[in-house]
Structure 1
Amino acid sequence: MLEKQRQQLIVELLEENTYASVIMLCEQLNASEATIRRDLIKLANSKKIKKIRGGAEVLAASEKPARKISGSAFLASKERYTDIKRSIAQKAVELCADNESIIINGGSSTYMMAEFLRHRKMNILTNSFVLAQELLENSENQITLPGGEIYRKQSIILSSFDNDTTQNYHGSKMFMGTPGISEFGVMETDPLLIRAEQKLRKRAEKLIVLADSSKIGVKGNLIFSALADVDMVITDSLADGSTLDAFEKAGIKVVIVDGE
């Protein structure tokens, strides 16, 4: 991640939370403590934030703040477990055939599918504008985007309205990532995300969840869907075996890639 991008995310995180500790920023942005401290000094010197002991706080709320949703920053998530996510994404694309119509939900794991979709010819509906841009520039796939607002932090397009282009689309499969999947179901971080993703889910025959081992067994307070609605989980060999067994008992096909 570029320094400018990271510093912009710091400002956005402070606008969301008012205050953030150095430790929290390190976790959110996948950066070292030394890097975050340098960023805070630069941002404070340019009067964009107020640096305080152990962290920073927002200077003042803007009169008309941009609409935001909860969830990890795409640019930071993209740099975590990169090799494993790439293997999971490759396996996901192997499930697809040319001329097939699919749906790809925005996220760092699903973004990795772009590399393996470059030489395919498919119809793809995605709410990820970074994935759409990558495929438009480097492939012959037909790309469809839903209408809505752009959320820069997550690099996705979301609509709060029922009537958008998604209602006229049909896909054989929907691919999505998740912050966690457990016996309680597929987790999500924000109600607006859930509403938008459920609209996409209705347009697909099967739901395939891309979840590296750090997401397996993780619970949250918001559920996107129950396990009964999941057809397949693609994960890696470091995932908890007992949780994967529970998935299979629930009728989910579990596909495992090498996690070493």
Structure 2
Amino acid sequence: MNQQQRLNILLEMVSERGNVSIGDVSEQLSVSTATARRDLNTLAEQRLVTRTHGGAAALGSGYELPLQYKIARQADAKLAIARAVERLIPSGATVGMNGGTTVTEVARALGRSDRMTSVGGEPGVTIVTNALNIAFESSVRENVKIVVTGGVPRRQSYELIGPLVGRSLQDFSLDVAVLGVDGLTAEFGATTLHEGEADASRQISRLARRVVVAADQTKIGRSTFARICALDDVDVLVTDGVLPARIAAQFDKAGVEVVVAPLR
């Protein structure tokens, strides 16, 4: 295991537990205490954790992993969800997208899709997004037309946020909005960790005839700080496993169609 892989795992440990000790790290990663200490110091220098006596702690209760450290989390599930979402989107559609790793995989799936071919000079799919990484990757695809909202970039997620997002969207109409979320419950609906990202995602969802939430099982039944929309504003949930009976009944009552993506 190289250092970058160790750092990914360490950040996930801190995110889930709130704090870790050097002994925890040494045992979990099967490395020496000296290596564990160096890795924690590296993360502290990057301002991703706070060093404590004998370990490290998350930066706060709303701790959020930077996007580049989320890539490997639930990777198989995210790829499966992306394939399933791609199949729900008709050729020629205009698709709104927020940021995050799962939605990034959806954008990649659309860019590679044989169904999304340009015809008569018209794009195979138009993506309207506030995510700079999605815009950058998709801009090289000849079959994809990219429209980027205004806004101020948030370094943690590469998403544009602020009032310029809504202003730049006000004259658009979307066939589908594909949203990544940090939580989805019957009580609080679709939520995320940052209020600016929640507002931008809400602006995108309001323009769409159909709202699709792409979320793996770790997000279901969990609520986070800022609401994007109520559950009954969601038309389809694409996830990687069968929902528990109680949650499935709540989602059915709210009129949410649940699509389970097959894992390869």
Fold similarity call, TM over 0.5: yes
C-alpha spacing 1:44/1:237, structure 2 compared with 1 (3 Å): closer
- Deviation readout 1:70-90 (Å, 9 max, x if unpaired): 743212222111111111111
Structure 2 residue aligned with 1:230: 234
Counterpart Cα distance in 2 of 1:221 and 1:70:
11
- Percentage identity across aligned positions? 24
Q: Determine whether 1:117 maps to 2:110.
A: yes
Helix, strand or coil: the match of 2:202? helix
Structure 1 residue aligned with 2:211: 207
Give the alignment partner of residue 85 of structure 2, picking from 75, 92, 107: 92
Structure 1 residue aligned with 2:134: 131
Counterpart Cα distance in 2 of 1:49 and 1:78:
18
Structure 1 residue aligned with 2:171: 168
Helix, strand or coil: the match of 1:112? helix
Listed as ranges, the matches of 1:1-260 within 5 Å are 3=4, 21-22=19-20, 37-42=37-42, 51-56=51-56, 71-119=64-112, 120=116, 121-161=124-164, 164-184=167-187, 185-258=189-262
- Number of residue pairs matched by the alignment: 235
Matched-pair contact (CA < 8 Å) for 2:184–2:191: yes
Instruction: Provide the alpha-carbon RMSD of the alignment.
Output: 3.6
Counterpart Cα distance in 1 of 2:161 and 2:107:
20
Matched-pair contact (CA < 8 Å) for 1:217–1:240: no
**How far off its partner does 1:46 sit?**
10
- Deviation readout 1:79-118 (Å, 9 max, x if unpaired): 1111111111111111112221110111111011133112
- Deviation readout 1:171-220 (Å, 9 max, x if unpaired): 11100111111111112212212222221122111111011111111123
Which amino acid letter does the alignment assign opposite residue 125 of structure 1? V
Helix, strand or coil: the match of 2:190? strand
- Deviation readout 1:120-170 (Å, 9 max, x if unpaired): 221110111111111112442000111111112112111234663211221
**How far off its partner does 1:259 sit?**
5.1
Which amino acid letter does the alignment assign opposite residue 174 of structure 1? A
Which amino acid letter does the alignment assign opposite residue 39 of structure 2? D
Structure 1: which 5+ residue stretches go unaligned? 14-19, 58-68
**How far off its partner does 1:228 sit?**
1.3
Structure 2: which 5+ residue stretches go unaligned? 117-123
Moved segments of 4+, more than 6 Å: 43-50
**How far off its partner does 1:22 sit?**
3.8
**How far off its partner does 1:245 sit?**
2.6
Which amino acid letter does the alignment assign opposite residue 224 of structure 2? G
Matched-pair contact (CA < 8 Å) for 1:22–1:37: no
Counterpart Cα distance in 2 of 1:93 and 1:51:
42
C-alpha spacing 1:241/1:52, structure 2 compared with 1 (3 Å): same
Helix, strand or coil: the match of 1:168? coil
